[in-house]
Amino acid sequence: MKNNHDQIPLAEFDPDRKGVIEPSEHIAAESPTPYCVLAIYTAVIEKLEQEGKLKPTRPVRAIEGFYQIYLLDFQGQQLAVVNPGIGAPLVAGVLDEMIAFGCRKFVACGSAGVLDSTLDRGHVIIPVKALRDEGTSFHYLPPSRFVDADKEVVRQLEAVLQKNSVPYTTGITWTTDAIYRETRGKVAKRRAEGCIAVEMECAAFLATAKFRNVKLGQYLEAYDDVSGETWDKRHVDDRLALQEKLFWLSVEACLML
């Protein structure tokens, strides 16, 4: 029997703007700043909190427990900082909640596997679009193969890297829910479509931002290499330093939005 893709639930987009549980009805819009860095870097946040650079505000209750919102003073301005977790459903929920909290300009930073072995460990990637191989983005935007990043936001993120003489690459990233199902066949197909990186959040970030009409861009740090016959972990001893550098670039870029 021929498959009818119209019957796939993810294709059943509902344009109703109001959900049964609406973040803005349960979270007060009390953020002192419109700027927010979404840093998927637990070690960086812990280090900066210990150094007194991040000031905890209040924990936000989530289904899986609590997450902490921090405030950061940088060059006379203030930003919110939060670790949104890993994976599309979680980061979309945290982003939605931070929007309800009052933030409107976001830069996310995290790590990604590479589909191009010429991208060295730690190289910075700016996604210009994400291939939607996850489920969350389909609840925020109608079905499509890709979701585009805001071109002006991409230009602003590029400008910050250029100012700081940081090498970078722009390109398409593959967002997937299943890290253990990145098969060789899928990797080859994604490379043929122009994808240079693979991660678990970008499509959801971009779709949620578009749905809520806020600005969002993302920096990705090139990590492991899944482009070859075997997985290359590409371990480095200074991973925290690489992550911390990308965090501060994200802070600078966020204030430019």
Mind listing the pLDDT tens digit for each residue in 146-156?
Answer: 999 999 999 99
The CATH number assigned to the domain holding 148 equals 3.40.50.1580
State the Cα–Cα distance between residues 241 and 104, nearest whole angstrom.
28
Q: What pLDDT does 4 receive?
A: 61
SS3 labels along 102-148: CCCEEEEEEEEEECCCCCCCCCEEEEEEEEEECCHHHHCCCCCCEEE
Residue 187 within a domain: yes
Mind listing the pLDDT tens digit for each residue in 181-192?
Answer: 999 999 999 999
State the Cα–Cα distance between residues 114 and 112, nearest whole angstrom.
6
3-state SS assignment for residue 38: strand
Residue 238 within a domain: yes
Single pTM value for the model: 0.94
Residue 59 within a domain: yes
Residue 8 within a domain: no
Q: What is the DSSP letter of 66?
A: E
Q: What pLDDT does 218 receive?
A: 98
Q: Is the dihedral of CA 52, 53, 55, 60 positive or negative?
A: negative
What backbone phi and psi angles, to 5 degrees, belong to 188? -65, -40
Confidence of residue 232 (pLDDT cuts 50, 70, 90): confident
Domain that holds residue 66: 31-254
pLDDT over 80 (residue 5): no
| Count of structural domains, the chain | 1
Q: What percent of the chain has pLDDT over 90?
A: 85
198: left (phi over 0), alpha (psi -120 to 50) or beta: beta
Q: Which amino acid is at 34?
A: P
Residue 39 within a domain: yes
Residue 23 within a domain: no
Mean pLDDT for the chain overall = 93
Read off the pLDDT of each residue in 59-75 and give the average, rounded to a whole number. 80
Residue 14 within a domain: no
Q: Would you state the structure tokens that stand for residue 163, as one six-digit string?
A: 């100012």
* Maximum Cα interatomic distance, the chain, rounded to a whole number of Å: 64
Helix axes 88-101, 202-212, angle to 10 degrees: 30
Mind listing the pLDDT tens digit for each residue in 182-227?
Answer: 999 999 999 999 999 999 999 999 999 999 999 999 999 999 999 9
DSSP bridge pairs for 68: 59
Residue 161 within a domain: yes
Q: If we measure between CA atoms, which residue out of 138, 165, 132, 170 comes closest to residue 15? A: 138
Confidence of residue 239 (pLDDT cuts 50, 70, 90): confident
